Structure 1
Amino acid sequence: MTRILIVEDDIDIRGMLARGLEAEGFSVGMAGCVDDALTSARDEVPGAVVLDINLPDGSGHDVCRSLREGGYPGPILFLSARDEIRDRAEGLALGADDYIVKPFVFDELVARLRTHLLRRQSADEPVSRISAGKLVLDLDTRQVSCGEANARLTPREAELLAMLMESVNRPVSRGDIFDKLWASQGGLSLNVVDVYIGYLRSKMADFVRFGGPVLVTVRGRGFMLDLRGPDYRH
């Protein structure tokens, strides 16, 4: 069972994260300050770290820097109310894998966390299943499921869905999708992306009833799997 270290001084947020991650099948360690975080990481190396910036005895930047300088190899995700570009840039420059702004959607945090954990797996342990919230894709069988709903995808549909799941709640441009999946074939136009997006939407139509993400078009930016609910949708 993968252990996640939560470094957060807000007791309510820390408790909510702990309960949610445990329900998702993780074990959890918790710290409310820099010293406790570094001690906890030293005593039992976590699989990943979810890290606030504002801490009572310093900064989450100090934790990230110390962990990376000490050779910590796992994913580090900043979770902070600071939403300026310079804050994100500083966190990523220190070696963090991701930066999520508060207030946040828990399902998005879990999806990004799982994605980074999967990317860190060794090459001799190939990934066969990926998830985004309640959506699960088996890359071997190309079966996608959400609750009691499921669908079988073609190889290209599965590749497209996997690409969108890796960027959940973030748009992927039509051009990027085309370049990765179809550009090498020649003789095709960008319209092929729209055609396959339509195929996926049709096969995933029932998933929303079971809390699954919605495949939405973001005007001028591309397509994305949206886990955030109707109040956020474009």
Structure 2
Amino acid sequence: MGADTGRSVACLFGALASVASVAAAGSVQEYNVVWTSPSKDAGGSMPLGNGDSGLNAWVEENGDLVFYVSKTDSWGDNGRLLKVGKVRVRCEPPLVTPGCAFRQELDLPTATLRVVSQPPTGEVRLALWVDAVDPAVHVTVESAKDVTVTASFELWRTERYELPSLETSDVLVDRSKPNGQHEPTIVEPDTILKDLPGRVGWYHHNVKSVGPALTAEVQGVAGFQREDPLLHRTFGAV
């Protein structure tokens, strides 16, 4: 019995060693994702990030680089983890023209999105990545000829409004009510930063908090004093 067990263990270790050798022989770069045409919308985006800050990025058919910015602590006042915003980077002359050669690669070893295009004005190379340490996004453009690069942002939380529908995870979902809501969920607008020469920026500030107090009441710990994690939380980008 003991001898059989010993042989089984030896075979198991041998199998594990073989698997480890195969894994070591491979390279993460072998799994890089390559596209040869631009995307129509965010459904054709590539993910980037450093574990805290993240992007969903794509190049549109007009040549614009577009990406949504996310953050692990960008919690809104309704208990939703919100996108920080949307950024558009435009090259003039355009990065992409009809029929031009195009290659977009998600470089996994460096967590970088790389684009190489061949418009009539000459080769253009673009790189996009999130800093490994800081909450910063980097974009570089190299062109055979002079190119003007402009960055802008596009906000959708521009005014106060009520969410027309809720997700299962939303705090104010109440299936016992006819409309499925405990009460309306109101989204507050973002604020645009002004007087920033050569820069653009915006932020979202939680003027209220929906969720922590209600959750504490449901769980029977309403009397426990603690700091509200949502109230006055502010996040944005410059």
The TM-score, its normalising length taken from structure 1, stands at 0.25
User: For the pair shown, which has the larger CA radius of gyration, 1 or 2?
Assistant: 2
Structure of greater relative contact order (alpha carbons < 8 Å, 6+ residues apart): 2
Greater share of residues in strand:
2
Greater share of residues in helix:
1
